[in-house]
Structures are given as C-alpha cells and as structure tokens.
Amino acid sequence: MIMEGVEKRIQSLRQQINEHNHKYHVLDAPVIPDAEYDRLFHELAELETRYPEYTTSDSPTQRVGAGPLQQFPEVAHEIPMLSLNNAFGETDMNAFDRRVREKLRKEAIVYTAETKLDGLAISILYENGRLIRAATRGDGNRGENVTANVRTIRTVPIVLLGQDWPPVLEVRGEVFMNREGFERLNWEQELATAKLFANPRNAAAGSLRQLDPTITARRPLRFLAYGIGRASSIPGSQYETLQLLRSFGLPISQETRLVTGISGCMNYYEEIGKRRDHLPYEIDGVVFKVNSITEQNQLGFISRAPRWAIACKFPPREEITRVLDIEVQVGRTGALTPVARLEPVNVGGVTVTNATLHNADEIKRKDIRIGDRVYIRRAGDVIPEVVRVVPGGRVADSKPFEMPDRCPVCHSPARRSPGEVVSRCSGGLVCPAQRIQSILHFTSRKAMNIDGLGEKLVEQLCDRDLIQDVADLYELNAGQLAALDRMGEKSAARVINARDNSKHTSLDRLIYALGIREVGEAAAAILAANFESLESLYLASIEELENVPGIGPVSASRIYEFFHNKENRRIIERLRSAGVYWETESMDAPEVLLPLKGMTFVLTGTLHEMGRDSASSLLRGLGARVVGSVSPVTNFVIAGEAAGSKRDKAESLGIRILDEREFLELLKTPERFATVLDRPITPNNSV
Ligand code: IVH
C-alpha cells in the first residue's frame, strides 16, 4: 500500500470504529456482529503497529494509553462546578416554581426534566472535537485530572462525531455504574476474594480514582452528559443543548423531557419515582432546569447553586431509629456477625427491625452502642445497615460493644485469624448454629431449592436430633415432619415432595450447596464447567484448581481441603445413595473448557428447571456472554414460560430461540451449541 493509501485507510477505519462504538455503547443498537468489529479493530491495530508514524492518541486503539500515575494532578475549573439546591416534595417544588415565576414575571415556566444520577460529577474538555482533559468536581473550584481513566470509559467519545462542534466544548455529566455492571464487578471481586463494594456509587468512585488506568478500563463505568461548562458557543435552551451533545456522539439520559409548570414537574417526579427501581442505574431524585438559557441568565445564582435548577429528591431510604440491643449471630462458616436489634422503623416502605453491624472493627470505627440513636440505610435488596450514630443522643452509662471470646451458641472459643476482620466459632459442625446455617444454605433457592424447609423447621429438626447433616434430610419421612410444631400432613407432604424433586440437580448447584468456604454461586458454576465430575474435583491438585480461570489461590485451597475431608466425602456418598444425582459433562481437552466462548445469550421468561440466575452463571462459566437485551449480535435467546417482547424481537431478527427443554438438552453437551448455530433456522427452531 502506498503511504497515502495507508493513511486514508487508517482514517477510514478509525471513523468506522468510532461510529460502531457509538452505536454499540451509546445507542445500544449495534449494526455489525462482534466478529466484524473485531476484524476492523485488528486491521487498524496492525496498520498502526506497522506504520507507527500514523498512531495518534485519539485513535480508538489508544483508549488505555497512559501508564500508572503516582497521584492525580490538580485541575482548576474555569467555571466552577456548582451543586443543586434540594426539594423534598411538592411544597418545596411549589416554592421553587413560585420564586422562578415571580422573578421572570411569567405564568408558566418550561423546564427540562432529567433524572438525578447517583454517581460522580465530571468535566470533559474537548478542543477541536478531541478529548483533551477530564477532571472530577473536587471542591467545585479545583478537581483531579482523571483524563487517562475517563478515556477508558466506552461511552465517552475520544473524538466527537460530526463537524459542527464548537472549537472549545467542556461537557459536564455523571460517571456511574449501572446495576448490572455493579453486580458483575462484585461477582468478580468475590471470585478474587477482594473487597466488595457497598453500592454502585462507591464502586464508580473507587474505579474512577484508580492510579492505574488499566484497572479502570476493566471496570464497567458509564457516562451520561447533562450540561455544558466552558464553550465557544451554546444553544438557546437546555433541551437543545442536550440534543446537540447527543448529535456529537455523547450519551444523554433517555428519560429527559420538557415539562410545563408545577403539574408537569410533579407528574414527571411521580412517573420516574414509580419506575425508579426498574431503571438500569440508581437515581436519588429528578432535576428540573429552566429550559431557556436567557431566562437562566436572568435568574442567576445564589451562593453555590443556580436559581434556575432544583433537585427534587425521592423519600430517603435512610431513617433514624434506636439500637435496642446488639446480638451476635453465627453463620454457616462459624463467622460471628454482630446484628443491631432496632426499634422498628419504616425505611422507604419496608419495616426494618434488624441491621447488620458487619464486624467488631466496624462497630469500633462507628462507635455504635446499645441505646444509641442511629441512621439506618437500605439500598435495593441488600441487608439494611447502620450507617452512623446520631450525635448527641447517647444514654449516660453506655459502654463500647465488645465481641465475645466464645461462641454465643455452643460456647466454643471464638478466634480471629491474623489479617481477618471476622471472629469465628471454632466448634465446626458441633456448633448447632453452624449446623443449622449450613443446612439452610443447602436447602436455599440457588442451591438445592427445597421449598418449605426454612429456618423454623430446620431448627426443630436439629433440636429433636432428627437430622445432623444435609444427607439426613433425604431420610426424613412425612410422618416425622407432620409431628412438628406448626406442621400438618399437607405441609409435610409438600416439603417431602420438594425434597424429592431436589434430588435431580446440576453439578454447579450441588457444589454451591455443599457450602465450601469462598465458593459462591459463580465459583461453583466455573468448577462445574471445568471439571467433568465431582470425582475429578476430588482428584484435582491445588495447582490444577488455581489454574482454572476465575479460581484464586484462597478458593483453591479451600476446595482442596473440603474434598480431602473424609466426613465431607462421606456426606456426598450418602447423598448419592439417597438418590441425589446431578448432570455431569465430559470435557477433557483444554480448548473445550469454554465451549461457549464468543457466544452471546439472552435469557427471558421463567425457566422452571434451573432458574435464570443459575442458567446465566452456568453459561458464563462455559465462556458465554449473558446480556439483558436482544440485538443483531445475539446468538441465542433462551425463552422460558411467558417470554414476551425479547422473544418477539429475536424472531424478527432471525435469532435462534430455544425453549427450556431444548436448552437443557444442549447443555448436556455444550459443544453442540456451536453446531446448532451453524445450521439454518427451521420454522419452529427445534434442535
Ligand atoms: S446539573 C449547576 N443535572 O448532582 C448544576 N446534576 O447536587 C449542576 N447530578 O454534582 C449540576 N444528575 O453530580 C445536574 N441531571 C443532572 C444531574 C446532576 C446528577 C449530580 C451532579 C452534581 C450534583 C448536584
């Protein structure tokens, strides 16, 4: 290729890749398959390696360009990054709208209505369409230069689309993590036995403030633009500004609307409030901004906030109540967890009576004592926690809490290993609490899924010596159950039926159910996908276990210890003799360990046999990507009962749809998924 041709090709590839990136990451509507995109990307990378004189920092191959930093340099914001005044409902909103109307002498004001994302404010500076600097808000006047990290966020364009951008354009918006990304990150953290993030906001902040951009690049960060800072020209309204930013390839919230007057604002607030838990990301309220920029300028600022905007917050999921007592619970692995018993309090619609205090260090750090008034927080489905003590409300004779040095249930010594934050009961399965918890883990939904065998029943069964371990569950009869408190013949029969149904299970569920320390659902799915049977897990060395992608050294030694314990193996044999059986696979060549690598799956509708959670961890363990929405690059849609629009979309795109039976059948030999993919689709899609 002559040099001019090379340069042209490089430019054309960059432009195509930037456009596909935008379609994939920002519009969520890819138009070419992943393989085709990879081909373009590789061609560009190869040309840039061969002709380094054409490599530029704004090439899509250069997202992760810089090496680790020692610290983030400081950046001064030429236009300060202000905050918003808050409203907490209709009364505050009425007052805000009245002030605006009075000042502008107008009857009805047009506002842009936006969601208030719960992440971190960021400023991104583009000069001549190229990203040149990104900075955190900091104190509003000075922030940190996080350019190398922001460049790694796929939804942030390094080069703006089109040609019509102002030569200087400072975009402001929020960096955040959506719920799916947050869960995936914590799943990976769990596998790596690393610290879990408490919520998406902390995960986003922790990820953005990494000194090594290669770490940030692996974190599922996202960005949505909500305004402009410095710019050589700006449109006449906030709404037009957002549309313009979108035309440059910048992502904006899909929930943005124009509303009129207080009724328009309150309708939007209610509508978004109802959909809040169904949005892909967490929000803590909505934001209203006077739409006209002329009117914004007339209104101006008051101290650190604009008079033309307001954040209308949702009712808090944080409330104040009193700690009645601090009890210590014993978990399945003997971990002692202090729990605060609380005066009942309604937090975001749910009555909370207990909250976790995590461990002794946390209690000490927050100095929480019996009798204290405390803030309680509930986020999504997670266990409520005590955030901090309300200052000034302490009872006179309260004492700091001390962790007991013996297990409160079996009185065996409690020990805290060096480097660990938790104390553990040393009683093992002699400790009734550990026994009960490990049986409950075994019966839980994501493990053997024995419906009806809950805490009260398992406690009675253990107290009356009817069961000692999980294998004993399969020897119980309906008569024994019917004789227990609050049980009748009907409930007993239901439990026995659920217990019998649990006998047919999958290897990943069984491994998870065994309750091996450090082996959660994800690790269990990986082990099941990488070992042909439980027997080969028995035979695996620590080194072999460590070599499995996703299994770290700590988990490897726990797994090894577990399967080399005679008592554990005896229990597994007893389960087998009681009729428990699981699907196993034979996969011996290393290439077939991840037979679904490169394939994208969407699960929809109700899956009765294994449930969507297990199915997706199993698929991921086999190397597949499991995503939430159907697009032309989806390879399979697994449609359970009552599958709706995703199934329809898959049909219209000609994507292979499998029902649950076909899916389970293929899972027995996962290599067959590839063969099915190669075959043309028959009218009923049968395999
Ligand atoms: S506008 C001068 N719009 O809320 C106006 N902020 O308390 C500045 N935020 O630091 C902000 N969503 O991090 C604006 N749609 C939105 C927002 C938003 C979230 C955050 C932002 C800011 C804080 C203001």
Are the beta carbons of 130 and 146 closer than 8 angstroms?
Answer: no
pLDDT tens track for 127-170: 999 999 999 998 889 999 999 999 999 999 999 998 889 999 99
pLDDT > 80? residue 588: no
- Nearest CA among 158, 201, 160, 138 for reference residue 57: 158
Give the mutation target among 84, 297, 314 for probing the ligand 1 site: most ligand atoms within 8 A of CB. 84
Q: What is the pLDDT of residue 591?
A: 40
Residue 591 DSSP symbol: G
Q: Is the Cβ atom of 116 under 6 angstroms away from ligand 1?
A: yes
pLDDT tens track for 359-384: 898 899 899 999 999 999 876 556 78
Q: Is the Cβ atom of 87 under 6 angstroms away from ligand 1?
A: no
pLDDT > 70? residue 680: no
Task: Return the residue whose CA atom lies nearest to atom 24 of ligand 1.
Answer: 83
Q: Is the Cβ atom of 646 under 6 angstroms away from ligand 1?
A: no
Give the distance (Å) from ligand 1 centre to CA of residue 231. Answer: 18
Confidence of residue 49 (pLDDT cuts 50, 70, 90): confident
Give the distance (Å) from ligand 1 centre to CA of residue 310. Answer: 9
Q: Is the Cβ atom of 82 under 6 angstroms away from ligand 1?
A: yes
| Mean pLDDT to the nearest integer, 186-212 | 85
| Options 8, 103, 106, 116, the catalytic residue | 116
Lowest mean pLDDT among 88-102, 320-334, 451-465, 524-538: 524-538
Give the distance (Å) from ligand 1 centre to CA of residue 250. Answer: 17
Confidence of residue 592 (pLDDT cuts 50, 70, 90): very low
Furthest-apart CA atoms within the chain: distance in Å: 88
Length of the chain: 687
Give the distance (Å) from ligand 1 centre to CA of residue 658. Answer: 44
Q: Is the Cβ atom of 285 under 6 angstroms away from ligand 1?
A: no
| 121 Cα nearest atom in ligand 1 | 13
Q: What is the pLDDT of residue 12?
A: 94
Euclidean distance between CA atoms 127 and 77, whole angstroms: 16
Task: Return the residue whose CA atom lies nearest to atom 23 of ligand 1.
Answer: 83
Determine which helix (DSSP H) or strand (DSSP E) holds 257, and give its type and residue range.
strand 257-260
| 118 Cα nearest atom in ligand 1 | 19
Q: Is the Cβ atom of 227 under 6 angstroms away from ligand 1?
A: yes
| Mean pLDDT to the nearest integer, 323-332 | 94
Euclidean distance between CA atoms 185 and 178, whole angstroms: 11
C-alpha distance across the termini of the chain, in Å: 47
Q: What is the pLDDT of residue 155?
A: 93
What CATH number labels 2-62?
1.10.287.610
Give the distance (Å) from ligand 1 centre to CA of residue 304. Answer: 12
Which stretches of 99-236 are assigned E, i.e. beta strand? Answer: 110-117, 120-127, 130-136, 142-144, 168-177, 221-231
Give the 3-state secondary structure of residue 312. Answer: strand
Amino acid letter, residue 609 = E
Q: What is the pLDDT of residue 268?
A: 97
Give the 3-state secondary structure of residue 638. Answer: strand
Lowest mean pLDDT among 134-148, 521-535, 576-590: 576-590
Q: Is the domain covering 594-678 a CATH 3.40.50.10420 domain?
A: no
Confidence of residue 3 (pLDDT cuts 50, 70, 90): low
Q: What is the pLDDT of residue 616?
A: 77
Confidence of residue 685 (pLDDT cuts 50, 70, 90): very low
pLDDT > 70? residue 584: no
Tell me, yes or no, if 668 is annotated catalytic: no
pLDDT cut 90: percent of the chain above it: 53
Q: For 209-284, where are the alpha helices, taking DSSP H only? A: 213-217, 238-247, 261-275
Euclidean distance between CA atoms 508 and 619, whole angstroms: 11
Lowest mean pLDDT among 12-16, 460-464, 481-485, 632-636: 632-636
Lowest mean pLDDT among 63-72, 249-258, 432-441, 529-538: 63-72
Task: Return the residue whose CA atom lies nearest to atom 3 of ligand 1.
Answer: 226
Q: What is the pLDDT of residue 590?
A: 37
pLDDT > 90? residue 216: yes
pLDDT tens track for 83-96: 999 898 899 999 99
Write b or e for each residue in 577-607: b if 16 or more Cβ atoms lie within 10 A of its Cβ, otherwise e: eeebebbbbebeeeeebbbbeebbbbbbbeb
Domain positions in the chain: 2-62, 86-313, 318-389, 432-583, 594-678
Q: Is the Cβ atom of 228 under 6 angstroms away from ligand 1?
A: no
Q: What is the pLDDT of residue 549?
A: 75
Give the distance (Å) from ligand 1 centre to CA of residue 214. Answer: 28
Fold match flag (2-62 vs 318-389): no
675 alpha carbon, distance to own chain's centre: 32
pTM of this structure:
0.58
Give the distance (Å) from ligand 1 centre to CA of residue 292. Answer: 18
Euclidean distance between CA atoms 163 and 229, whole angstroms: 20
pLDDT tens track for 10-39: 999 999 999 998 888 888 778 888 878 888
Give the mutation target among 122, 174, 228, 238 for probing the ligand 1 site: most ligand atoms within 8 A of CB. 174
Task: Return the residue whose CA atom lies nearest to atom 13 of ligand 1.
Answer: 121
Q: Is the Cβ atom of 114 under 6 angstroms away from ligand 1?
A: yes
Mean pLDDT value across the chain: 88
Q: What is the pLDDT of residue 379?
A: 63
pLDDT > 50? residue 686: no
Euclidean distance between CA atoms 120 and 396, whole angstroms: 40
Q: Is the domain covering 432-583 a CATH 1.10.150.20 domain?
A: yes
Q: What is the pLDDT of residue 106?
A: 94
Assigned CATH class of 86-313: alpha beta
Q: CATH assignment of 318-389, given 3.30.460.20, 1.10.10.10, 2.40.50.140, 2.60.40.10? A: 2.40.50.140
Residue 284 DSSP symbol: E
